[in-house]
């Protein structure tokens, strides 16, 4: 008997279970952890999502966790969601899964909030935060995973706290569970300061999570969020900055792109004044470029590492949604719409379409606002120097700029043609011998407050220049 037959068998007439199988699996896990709290306080969606309500989470249970004084883990409130996994198994929200696959989205959210002295009841604002994250997941169909970061740009509890962003990790006590409806992981929300979010972007989420674990005041072993924490981990222990720099240098950054204000053009380009001979010469060069592009795609490139499917999907995902500056509490349709842009065709690993041709450029002028420009040192030091790529996706238009290293062969550039455009998507090859030079030249952008804009950086021998413009422009 397969899983579907077993699930349907649960709902035979006269044999309707008191608790649906997905719901029971989570309840059982909670009872094992909190045997003395069989009936915790719950925040309940008044109108369930599957009945047209706005909140995807049916319930959020709130438990009193005593912590572990011997390990400097304080008493805290433990919030556990119900609804990102398949609770009912009757297709009211999700298609029916199988026992060895994910149940619904495959995870539930948890959150640990430090309990204030004398606090008798748990605050309910974490439940609203979890509902907002759940709405993002349902709207975007993007699963939250351990190591992810969420830019929120406002105190999580609406106060004046420095805790204004989130990292995701595995819950320390809630282990993965499985039922006939599939597997459920428990992803814990960890509140962090802006400096800690930036460190996670420049290095990676798991690395910063481990630094937070090492400091009881910053969360400790169970990563308990303290909304009154006034110091970052780097203020608590300045030596952790060295660990961060070492991690970026050795491992690079996991951040593959950002949404940003950016643009590009080809210096000296003036189509309106071209003579007929110029146009004919450009047409010949254009056709030659297409032939070279086709030969490059079909030829033998065994001497260079081909771009992996993972890298191709990373570029595509970056172009579709951007990464760093997204506030996830979005109630309109703009967020889901942004994932259906025309970049699906431009980032395909197949050859150019008939409507959008790939062309090589002789020189390139890149323009970024100061906020985006401040990430250029990260892109070079944390990504390209490690053989990776970095994409700036325009927030006001369909423009995208991807910086690639020589190791990324699946791009539309090569050593002879370092600048290539496919529609509004520009790829810029930064060759290995130029990366260190550009890192030195752009290092001051790591301290954007000291930059007087506009400012232009130029590498004439590379036929490349970059202008940094004021944010307000």
Q: What is the pLDDT of residues 21-68, one digit of tens each?
A: 999 999 999 999 999 999 999 999 999 999 999 999 999 999 999 999
375 domain-assigned: yes
Residue 326 has pLDDT above 80, yes or no: no
Do 125 and 244 sit in the same domain of this protein?
A: yes
Do 167 and 263 sit in the same domain of this protein?
A: no
Do 141 and 167 sit in the same domain of this protein?
A: yes
Determine the Cα–Cα distance for residues 82 and 86; give it in Å rounded to an integer.
Answer: 9
| 81 SS3 class | strand
- Strands annotated E in 72-132: 76-82, 102-114
> What's the pLDDT band for 168 if we cut at 50, 70, 90?
very high
| Mean pLDDT for the stretch of residues 252-276 | 74
Helix axes 194-202, 239-251, angle to 10 degrees: 30
384 domain-assigned: yes
Of 122-126, 140-144, 359-363, the one with minimum mean pLDDT is 140-144
Residue 296 has pLDDT above 50, yes or no: no
- Give the tokens for residue 371: 């906020």
Domain of 383?
A: 256-268+356-472
Residue 363 has pLDDT above 50, yes or no: yes
155 domain-assigned: yes
Residue 322 has pLDDT above 80, yes or no: no
Of 81-95, 151-165, 327-341, 380-394, the one with minimum mean pLDDT is 327-341
Cβ of 272: how many Cβ atoms within 10 Å? Answer: 4
Quote the pLDDT of residue 252. 87
Determine the Cα–Cα distance for residues 199 and 78; give it in Å rounded to an integer.
Answer: 26
Residue 153 has pLDDT above 80, yes or no: yes
Q: Exposure string (b/e) for 344-363, b if CB count within 10 Å is 16 or more?
A: eebbeeeebeeeeebbbbeb
Q: Which residue has the tokens 């169909």?
A: 141
More confident residue, 12 or 267: 267
Do 159 and 134 sit in the same domain of this protein?
A: yes
Contact residues for 181 (Cβ-Cβ < 8 A; gap 6+): 7, 21, 22, 25, 85, 86, 89, 96, 97, 99, 103, 104
Give me Rg for the CA atoms of the chain. 26
439 domain-assigned: yes
Q: What is the DSSP letter of 185?
A: E
Last residue within a domain, chosen from 204, 226, 251: 251
**CATH number of the domain that residue 376 is part of:** 3.30.1360.230
Do 179 and 264 sit in the same domain of this protein?
A: no
Do 246 and 369 sit in the same domain of this protein?
A: no
> What are residue 153's DSSP bridge partners?
none
Q: Exposure string (b/e) for 242-271, b if CB count within 10 Å is 16 or more?
A: ebbeebbeeebbbbbbbbbbbbbebeeeee
Do 125 and 197 sit in the same domain of this protein?
A: yes
337 domain-assigned: no
Do 263 and 121 sit in the same domain of this protein?
A: no
Do 208 and 262 sit in the same domain of this protein?
A: no
* % helix, strand, coil for the chain, step of 5: 35, 20, 40
16 domain-assigned: no
Do 186 and 262 sit in the same domain of this protein?
A: no
Quote the pLDDT of residue 281. 52
State pTM to two decimals. Answer: 0.71
> What's the pLDDT band for 276 if we cut at 50, 70, 90?
low
More confident residue, 289 or 116: 116
Nearest by Cα to 80 from 189, 210, 209? 189
Which parts of 368-420 fold into alpha helices (H)? 370-373, 376-378
Contact residues for 94 (Cβ-Cβ < 8 A; gap 6+): 86, 103, 104
Of 26-40, 292-306, 454-468, the one with minimum mean pLDDT is 292-306
> What's the pLDDT band for 280 if we cut at 50, 70, 90?
low
Nearest by Cα to 393 from 256, 259, 265, 261? 259
What is the DSSP track for 243-309? Answer: HHHHHHHHH--S--EEEE-EEEE-TT--GGG--HHHHHHHHHHHHHHHHHHHHHHHS--TTSPPPPH
Residue 297 has pLDDT above 90, yes or no: no
Mean pLDDT of the chain: 82
Per the structure, the count of domains in the chain is: 2
Determine the Cα–Cα distance for residues 215 and 187; give it in Å rounded to an integer.
Answer: 21
Contact residues for 437 (Cβ-Cβ < 8 A; gap 6+): 459
Do 200 and 260 sit in the same domain of this protein?
A: no
Q: What's the CA angle centered on 311, arms 368 and 401, to 5 degrees?
A: 15
What is the DSSP track for 321-361? Answer: H-STT------SSHHHHGGG-THHHHT-SSPPPSSS-EEE-
Quote the pLDDT of residue 161. 97
Do 209 and 260 sit in the same domain of this protein?
A: no
> What's the pLDDT band for 353 if we cut at 50, 70, 90?
very low
More confident residue, 465 or 307: 465
| Mean pLDDT for the stretch of residues 272-286 | 48
| 429 SS3 class | strand
């Amino acid at each position: 008997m397969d899983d579907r037959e077993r699930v349907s068998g649960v709902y035979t007439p006269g044999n309707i279970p008191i608790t649906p199988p997905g719901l029971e699996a989570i309840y059982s896990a909670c009872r094992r952890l909190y045997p003395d709290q069989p009936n915790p306080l719950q925040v309940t969606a008044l109108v369930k999502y599957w009945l047209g309500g706005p909140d995807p989470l049916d319930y959020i249970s709130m438990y009193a966790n005593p912590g572990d004084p011997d390990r400097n883990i304080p008493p805290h409130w433990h919030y556990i969601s119900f609804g990102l996994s398949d609770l009912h198994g009757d297709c009211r929200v999700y298609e029916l899964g199988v026992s060895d696959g994910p149940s619904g989205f495959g995870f539930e959210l948890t959150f640990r909030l430090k309990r204030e002295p004398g606090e008798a009841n748990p605050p309910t604002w974490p439940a609203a935060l979890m509902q907002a994250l759940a709405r993002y997941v349902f709207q975007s169909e993007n699963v939250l995973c351990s190591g992810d970061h969420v830019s929120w740009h406002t105190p999580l509890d609406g106060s004046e706290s420095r805790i204004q962003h989130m990292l995701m990790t595995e819950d320390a006590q809630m282990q993965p569970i499985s039922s006939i409806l599939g597997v459920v992981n428990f992803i814990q929300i960890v509140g962090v300061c802006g400096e800690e979010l930036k460190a996670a972007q420049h290095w990676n989420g798991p690395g910063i999570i481990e630094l937070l674990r090492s400091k009881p005041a910053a969360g400790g072993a169970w990563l308990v969020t303290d909304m009154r924490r006034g110091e970052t981990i780097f203020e608590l222990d300045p030596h952790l900055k060295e660990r961060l720099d070492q991690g970026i240098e050795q491992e690079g950054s996991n951040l593959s792109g950002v949404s940003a204000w950016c643009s590009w053009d080809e210096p000296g380009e003036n189509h309106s004044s071209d003579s007929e001979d110029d146009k004919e010469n450009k047409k010949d060069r254009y056709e030659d470029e297409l032939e070279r592009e086709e030969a490059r795609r079909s030829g033998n490139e065994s001497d260079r590492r081909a771009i992996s499917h993972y890298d191709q999907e990373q570029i595509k995902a970056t172009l579709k949604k951007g990464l760093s500056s997204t506030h996830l509490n979005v109630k309109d349709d703009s967020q889901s719409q942004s994932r259906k842009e025309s970049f699906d065709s431009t980032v395909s690993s197949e050859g150019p379409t008939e409507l959008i041709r790939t062309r090589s450029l002789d020189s390139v002028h890149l323009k970024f606002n100061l906020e985006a420009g401040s990430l250029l040192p990260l892109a070079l030091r944390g990504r390209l120097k490690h053989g990776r790529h970095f994409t700036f996706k325009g927030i006001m238009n369909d423009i995208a700029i991807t910086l690639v290293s020589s190791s990324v062969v699946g791009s539309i550039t090569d050593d002879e043609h370092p600048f290539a455009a496919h529609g509004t998507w520009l790829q810029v090859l930064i060759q290995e011998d130029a990366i260190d030079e550009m890192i030195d030249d752009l290092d001051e952008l790591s301290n954007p407050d000291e930059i007087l804009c506009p400012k232009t950086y130029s590498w004439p021998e590379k036929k490349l220049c970059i202008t940094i413009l004021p944010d307000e422009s």
